Amino acid sequence: MGATAHRPWVEAFPGAARWDAPIEIGTLPELLDLAISEGPARPALSYREARLDYATLGRLVSELSAGFAEAGITKGDTVALYLPNTPYHPIAFFAALRLGARITHLSPLDAPRELAYKVKDSGARTLITTNFPSLLPNALALQAEGLVERVWVGDDAYWGPSSGIEVPRRAGVASLFDMLRPCSSCNPAQVSPDDVAVLQYTGGTTGVPKGAMLTHANFTATVSMYRSWSEPDGLMPGQERIICVLPLFHIYALTVILLRGLRDGNELLLHSRFDAQAVAADIETRRASIMLGVPTMWIALANLPDIDRRDFSSLKQCGSGGAPMPFEVEKRLERLLGRRMGGGWGMTETAPAGTRMVMSAPSSPGLIGIPYPGIDLRIVSLENPKEVLGAHEIGEIAIRGPNVFKGYWKKAQATAEAFVDGYFLTGDIGKRDEKGQFSIVDRKKNMIISSGFNVYPVAIENAIYEHGDVKEVIVIGVPDPYRGQAAKAFVTLKEGAPALTLETLRDFLSDRIGRHEMPTALEIRAELPRSPAGKLLAKVLIDEEKERAAHIAAG
């Protein structure tokens, strides 16, 4: 990792992690095999009426892998998974990886144009899906257009009562589990830790999506880093139930819930979509002990009308990721749950390990914690990324470690531009304190330049979230004839809340933010745009404002 790396967090928080523990690096099939060998009879996956133990999961993976091999899937192929959170995802995921193929994830909320781009760019000729009405027609359209050669469909009714639609009989379309074959003679490929396991597309909200090449080593290193965290949490590997409502096609759930959960021998409670009442029932009646979500999920849980009467005492770990958690919302949730909210920071390109909050240290707005073992993190100048900044100086977060991706698929120039001195430039603006605790200020691309001042939308959003009537908020920069740019707030209100005007909001913010940060426009909406993972999307609103301005300019 480099002898010159400065890691003040190791000295400041010696008990937070096993800092000298070796980072275990291997392959993902080995990770699953180890989990199976340690507890074959343990429950692994629960979905509706189905419950699979680790031995059954392993058998289905092996038999499907044998079927894939018979169908011609081989090392170096790309297999596209177009799946929600059903057992078909982990079964197909590991079955393809056993053969040395790589996975590319398609989002159920991708537009047809995005689906077409990802399958063409990744080179995937095989697509695996299920017969959800929202998925199968799109998958079949990709095949009809010649973008994929074959579509293998898992029947959702296999797992219990379903609204799945009929699968047409035609060339190139087959039932996924019809491909199961005895695995007595199957020979998995020689898979190396350096082989690409997943092409995970990122950057779709800021331009053409780029395929991040994540290796087996990246994922297994990340899981090892998570397991090296030693701050007491009361968790017992092999005995926990984890709510898996975050989408497995997203890097956060893929690694933090699926891979880490399986490696620990825990049970995953799969949900194909987020429903606040269903998640609350998992905690109350099934006594789930781990719930990880994005801020919007936690906000929905906090807004349940009877939240004060819910019994969430089974929860041992509550975490939020994928986007910054508004500080006021975080504090309210902690009061409701009776425990600290965990959190941290990471990216698709880091698989997604980065930092983690230290539960023994006080929280503050924007705080993301300290790096995991094996990771070096630093703040570099926005003007010159070779210049490393000191404590409390604001700059770009740069990271290196065995979890950091190999580069962008077929984009050598973008890869070269993303690294300086071996560190990946994240595009996140942040700072660190003397103890090595890092804070996020904002995304580099979201920064507003108002009258020459740097204005960070996250700071304004955090202040607006303190208003008791606000449900969700996104702040963006819009053109301003005097300042160059100014802040505009898009807000959704809680049910039954009175009308909110710009004047009222500015009065509320007057002692919370500076005059140069004050919003000059407010728009109340019924809902705000979000990604498939539930992350609020500022980019959609930025594009809308640009289109509106262009229309006005055109007369």
pLDDT in tens, 128-168: 999 999 999 999 999 999 999 999 999 999 999 999 999 99
Domain 28-191 carries which CATH code? 3.40.50.980
Beta-carbon contacts of residue 267 (< 8 Å; ≥ 6 apart): 42, 43, 44, 45, 46, 240, 241, 242, 261
pTM for the full predicted model:
0.83
pLDDT in the model for residue 306: 85
Calculate the CA 180 to chain-centre distance: 31
- Residue 206 above 50 pLDDT? no
Residue 455, pLDDT above cutoff 80: no
* Mean pLDDT, range 276-282, rounded to an integer: 94
pLDDT cut 90: percent of the chain above it:
70
How is domain 447-553 classified at the CATH fold level? GMP Synthetase; Chain A, domain 3 (3.30.300)
pLDDT value, residue 203:
58
- Strand 438-443 with 290-293, pairing: unpaired
Distance CA 64, CA 188 (A): 12
Instruction: Extract the runs of DSSP E, i.e. beta strands, from 16-93.
Output: 43-47, 50-53, 78-82
- Count of beta carbons in the 10 Å neighbourhood of residue 75: 14
Residue predicted with more confidence, 405 or 460? 405
Give residue 322's pLDDT. 67
Hey, which CATH number is domain 8-24+203-443, 3.40.50.12780, 3.40.190.10, 3.30.530.20, 3.10.180.10? 3.40.50.12780
For CATH 3.40.50.980, the residue range(s) in the chain are 28-191
* Cα 480 to Cα 212: distance, rounded to the nearest angstrom: 36
What does the pLDDT average to over 62-85? 96
Domain with CATH 3.40.50.12780 in the chain: 8-24+203-443
Residue 205 has pLDDT above 50, yes or no: no
* CATH 3.30.300.30 domain span(s) along the chain: 447-553
pLDDT tens-digit readout, 86-115: 999 999 999 999 999 999 999 887 778 889
Helix 136-144 and helix 112-122, axial crossing angle in degrees, nearest 10: 60
Res. 537: pLDDT tops 70:
yes
Q: What is the pLDDT of residues 43-59, one digit of tens each?
A: 999 999 899 999 999 99
Calpha distance 95→267 (Å, rounded): 20
322: buried, middle or exposed (CB in 10 Å: 19+, 13-18, 0-12)? Answer: buried
Phi first, then psi: give them for residue 291, nearest 5 degrees: -130, 115
Contact 136, 108 (CB under 8 A): no
DSSP annotation of 229 reads: B
- State the pLDDT at residue 108: 84
Q: 281: Cβ–Cβ under 8 A, 6 or more apart, which residues? A: none
In the structure, what pLDDT confidence band is assigned to residue 451 with cuts at 50, 70 and 90?
low
pLDDT at position 453, please? 64
At 550, the pLDDT band (50, 70, 90 cuts) reads confident
CA distance 293 to 299: 10
Pairing status of strand 50-53 against strand 43-47: antiparallel
Residue of 38, 83, 39, 28 whose CA lies nearest to 61: 28
Give the three-class secondary structure for 56. helix
With a cut of 70, say whether residue 454 has pLDDT above it. Answer: no
